[in-house]
């Protein structure tokens, strides 16, 4: 199984909104509403920020939102803040009953 | 509050078997009908799901690693383990254990801090 496809990097200015795409196939993202997003600061464990495509766990800022269209999921970060600058990973359940991650996207706040 | 902690050798020789343990504090493996997972991250690279064990003892593995991986646990206790055989330099990574959130296999809501494992002679 190949990794989900994410852009290597995205950037935006404070206060702006950015979106990170995550592209898979009909056998993963397109077939299930089981897309998750993780935020990972350097040297730390990933933190779950979105699950089931668009649900935020308790305590996660509402500046983070998720969506999906076909085989592509997206994470949107609105009102960019300096603390948002880090790495983001998507993941999905697959038709073979396994879990697949994206390659990761580095978000830079200009 | 549930916490996870990985432990094991930080250095493994090529062709040998990597062994790690994840210890839970604040719960047992049978708590909440959960899945328990191992995930790794090679230096400077992305995340890779290795596999998961369900509270019933059923296991699920990444097909690319399945021939070399064993995840085991005593469901009445508070730890589960990873064994990865015939390791090479490509298995050098930070290894995380994590809980399958909300009873799901495919999302991870609580993570350990990670254990660095280097494969080298």
CB nearest to A101's CB, from B47, B52, B104: B47
Indicate if the pLDDT at residue B31 is higher than 80.
no
Q: Which residues of B touch A46 (CB under 8 A)?
A: 47, 96, 108, 111
pLDDT on residue A43: 95
3-class DSSP string for B40-54: EECCCCCCEEEEEEE
Tokens describing residue A65: 């939102």
Strand-pairing partners, residue B51, are B38, B61
Give the residue among A1, A22, A15 at the shortest CA–CA distance from A105.
Answer: A22
- Which residue is listed with tokens 């699950």? A51
pLDDT digits (tens, 9 = 90+) for A5-26: 999 999 999 999 999 999 999 9
Q: Which residues of A touch B52 (CB under 8 A)?
A: 99
Indicate if the pLDDT at residue B77 is higher than 90.
no
Indicate if the pLDDT at residue B55 is higher than 90.
no
pLDDT on residue B28: 84
pLDDT digits (tens, 9 = 90+) for A36-87: 999 999 999 999 999 999 999 999 999 999 999 999 999 999 999 999 999 9
Bridge-based pairing of strands A35-40 and A99-101 is: unpaired
Q: Which of A29, A33, A34, A45 to mutate to test the interface with B (most CBs of B within 10 A)?
A: A45
Query: How far apart are the CA of A102 and the nearest CA of chain B, in angstroms?
Result: 7
Cα A95 versus chain centre, distance: 20
């Amino acid at each position: 199984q190949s990794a989900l496809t994410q852009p290597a990097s995205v950037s935006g200015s404070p206060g702006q909104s950015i979106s990170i795409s995550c592209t898979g196939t009909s056998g993963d993202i397109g077939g299930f509403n089981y897309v998750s997003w993780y935020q990972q600061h350097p040297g730390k464990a990933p933190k779950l920020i979105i699950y089931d495509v668009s649900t935020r766990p308790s305590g996660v800022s509402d500046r983070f939102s998720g969506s999906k269209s076909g085989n592509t999921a997206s994470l949107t970060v609105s009102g960019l803040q300096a603390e948002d600058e880090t790495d983001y990973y998507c993941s999905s359940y697959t038709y073979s009953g396994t879990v697949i991650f994206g390659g990761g996207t580095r978000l830079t706040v200009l | 509050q549930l916490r996870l902690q990985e432990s094991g050798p930080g250095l493994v020789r090529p062709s040998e078997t990597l062994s790690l343990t994840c210890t839970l504090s604040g719960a047992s493996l049978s708590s909440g009908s959960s899945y328990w997972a191992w995930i790794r991250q090679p230096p400077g690279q992305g995340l890779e799901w290795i596999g998961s064990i369900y509270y019933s003892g059923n296991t699920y593995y990444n097909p690319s690693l399945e021939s070399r991986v064993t995840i085991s646990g005593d469901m009445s206790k508070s730890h589960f383990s990873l064994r990865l055989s015939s390791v090479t330099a490509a298995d050098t990574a930070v290894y995380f254990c994590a809980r399958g959130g909300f009873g799901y296999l495919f999302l991870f809501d609580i993570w350990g801090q990670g254990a660095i494992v280097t494969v080298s002679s």
